Amino acid sequence: MSTERKILEKLALGLSQRQITKSVKTSSHKVIAVRRFCNERNLTFEDALKLNDDELMIKKRKEVIVNSAKRPDYEYIHSELKKKGVTLKLLHDEYVEECVITGKDYLKYTQFCNVYKDYVEDNKLVMHIERKPGERIEVDWAGTTIPIYDSTQKEIIDKAYLFVGVLPFSQYMYAGASLDMKEEAWINHHINMFRYFGGSTSILQCDNLKTGVITHKQYDEIIYNSSYQEMCEYYNTAVIACRVRAPRDKNSSESSVGFLTNNIIGRLRNYKFTSIHEINQKIKEELVKLNNGPFQKRDYSRSYVFENEEKAYLKPLPTKPYEYAIWKKASVGLNYHVCYEYNYYSVPYTYLRKEVDLRISQYMIEIFYKGERIVSHPRFLTGKGKYVTLEEHMPENHKQYGQWNKDRIIEWSKKIGPNTQEVISNIFTKARFEVQVYNQCITILKLADKYSKETLESACRYLLDKDITPIHKNFMIVIDAIQNKKSNNNERKNEGALLRGASYYGKR
């Protein structure tokens, strides 16, 4: 995906210029150029996304900073931003008025913000950002765990990890526990959190944990986990990872983690839970108390601010919650199928030997090629060696297979013996399409030419009795065992044989 298209997606979500430059890892000039491109053509960001890549070729226009402009008083700006109601826009307006009165050149608003940002970063200060209602959610794991006991409540057998999500504007919090911190638990906590809040936000800010962020190198594009990125797109939110070793980027969740650790885990220290369900039920009760409790030195609560000032700004949730899925890469085999968990799913034969992406959910397998879904199949939940094949995926010579057919192969198996016939018939019974198992059956029947009909019959009987899958590899293991047994029996017979002595040849 081109940089311009990524910027347009973020603009459509309502992200600010600074947030987009961090998320897409591009310059502010590029974002300005994309915005100007849409304004000059009277296009909405959504309409611009429909253009092809050639139409989205956007040239940058150089922004020249006037060297003669009066530089702002950075220390004054930083101190004033700590006060309630003071914004960078207000301070810029005052700065412009001062420059006009003194007859000096001044910086435009974007340049004004950029030089202040540089000052903050150079001096390792905290940038005072005014939080907006419904703008972002900050998420994290708590470091402290909750013990889980056995049924006697004497021995610890497991532990639970606490997930925290907070809306910075109202400080309204969500918490949930799981038995691990793996990808599925991480995503399911997000799904439950969105349901608890009753909506999503434009930004989802997380730490650089592996379940969310694969790589986050300085001056390089951030690579997010595929399933996590897909979940964020489903809820129409943009994920932004904090800078490495910069916990103050998500100071709301950091402080909430400590707050919840003290007020939830601390309060639960005397409880002996025997299941994760009990823990989550108790966390839910404590969470209601904390959100409804008043702030220190204020006579209102998190719930009051959330319900009256922030909830209306949240984005509506989709009709159905997101379904967790994992992504895998696979190659299309010569039989125009891809393999997952030893079962096989067809794709159009024109994709032979192509590398495709598999999206595996609880009940479906979806197959993508270069970002486009080409087919989906119901997922096999049990067994191995099963095939699901759509007839339109077959080449013509497979649809009209003339050299071999089921009747001819069954007739061949009858000549070898009843056990072989039963095995071959079972293979055809389980196959959805006969053509899929022709090679399998022919390979089995040819074993009679190499070893003997009796050996193949014995092998078929053994596989039927033990209910072993009739594939070539299993046949070879059984046949080797049969031959070794025969060889050992022959050696025992030779041990008791009569040998001619010296007297037979006339020697005494």
Cβ-Cβ contacts under 8 Å for 249 (sequence gap 6 or more):
205, 242, 243
pLDDT exceeds 80 at position 172:
yes
Residues 24 and 115 in one domain: no
For the chain, percent of residues with pLDDT exceeding 70: 79
Residue 59 domain-assigned?
no
At 140, the amino acid letter reads D
Residues 378 and 420 in one domain: no
Residues 181 and 157 in one domain: yes
Rounded to whole angstroms, the Cα distance separating 285 from 483 reads 69
- Tell me the pLDDT tens digit for each residue of 176-229: 999 988 888 888 999 999 999 999 998 888 776 655 454 444 434 445 567 788
Residue 128 domain-assigned?
no
Q: What is the mean pLDDT of residues 309-316?
A: 88
The pLDDT confidence band at residue 410, using thresholds 50, 70 and 90, is confident
Q: Where does a domain end: 93, 122, 151?
A: 122
Residues 217 and 359 in one domain: no
Look up tokens 């435009």; give the residue: 108
- Residue 239: phi and psi, rounded to 5, are -85, 135
pLDDT exceeds 50 at position 53:
yes
Residues 243 and 117 in one domain: no
pLDDT exceeds 60 at position 304:
yes
- Picking from 159, 137, 140, 158, the residue whose alpha carbon sits closest to that of residue 259 is 140
pTM value? 0.52
Q: Quick one: pLDDT at residue 51?
A: 80
Residues 154 and 96 in one domain: no
Q: Which residues of 144-177 are buried (b: 16+ CB within 10 A; e: fewer)?
A: bebbbbeeeeeeeebebbbbbbbbbbbbbbbbbb
Residues 83 and 218 in one domain: no
Q: Quick one: pLDDT at residue 60?
A: 43
Q: Quick one: pLDDT at residue 317?
A: 92
Q: Where does a domain end: 60, 95, 122?
A: 122
Residue 58 domain-assigned?
no
Residues 242 and 155 in one domain: yes
Cβ-Cβ contacts under 8 Å for 45 (sequence gap 6 or more):
8, 11, 12, 38
For the chain, percent of residues with pLDDT exceeding 90: 9
Q: Quick one: pLDDT at residue 216?
A: 40
pLDDT exceeds 70 at position 63:
no
For the four alpha carbons of 139, 140, 142 and 147, in that order, the dihedral sign comes to positive
The CA-atom distances, in angstroms, between 111 and each of 65, 88, 114, 115, 116 are: 7, 12, 5, 6, 9
Residue 54 domain-assigned?
no
Range of the domain at 16: 3-49
Tokens at residue 373, please?
């879904």
At 110, the amino acid letter reads T
Q: Quick one: pLDDT at residue 473?
A: 84
Q: Quick one: pLDDT at residue 209?
A: 63
Residue 68 domain-assigned?
no
Q: Where does a domain end: 350, 372, 399?
A: 399
Look at 101 and 404; give whichever has higher pLDDT: 101
Residues 197 and 231 in one domain: yes
Rounded to whole angstroms, the Cα distance separating 376 from 354 reads 17
Quote the DSSP letter at residue 89. Answer: H
- Window from 115-124, 221-230, 355-364 with minimum mean pLDDT: 221-230
- Residue 206: phi and psi, rounded to 5, are -130, 170
Rounded to whole angstroms, the Cα distance separating 201 from 213 reads 19
Rounded to whole angstroms, the Cα distance separating 506 from 508 reads 7
- Window from 236-250, 427-441, 471-485 with minimum mean pLDDT: 236-250
Cβ-Cβ contacts under 8 Å for 370 (sequence gap 6 or more):
none
Specify the CATH number for the domain of residue 173: 3.30.420.10
Residues 274 and 349 in one domain: no
Residue 60 domain-assigned?
no
Other C-beta atoms within 10 Å of 395: how many?
Answer: 12
- What is the DSSP code string of 413-465? HHHH-HHHHHHHHHHHHH-SSGGGGHHHHHHHHTHHHHT-HHHHHHHHHHHHH
Q: What is the mean pLDDT of residues 16-40?
A: 82
Residues 366 and 454 in one domain: no
pLDDT exceeds 80 at position 147:
yes
Look at 221 and 53; give whichever has higher pLDDT: 53
- Tell me the pLDDT tens digit for each residue of 271-301: 889 899 999 999 999 899 888 888 766 677 8
The pLDDT confidence band at residue 66, using thresholds 50, 70 and 90, is very low
Q: Quick one: pLDDT at residue 277?
A: 92
Q: What is the mean pLDDT of residues 110-124?
A: 76
Q: Quick one: pLDDT at residue 211?
A: 57
Residue 174 domain-assigned?
yes
Burial of 224 (0-12, 13-18, 19+ CB in 10 A): buried
Residue 487 domain-assigned?
yes
Residues 419 and 285 in one domain: no
The pLDDT confidence band at residue 399, using thresholds 50, 70 and 90, is low
Q: How many helices (H) and strands (E) does the chain have?
A: 19, 14
Number of domains comprising the chain? 5
- Window from 49-53, 325-329, 420-424, 475-479 with minimum mean pLDDT: 49-53
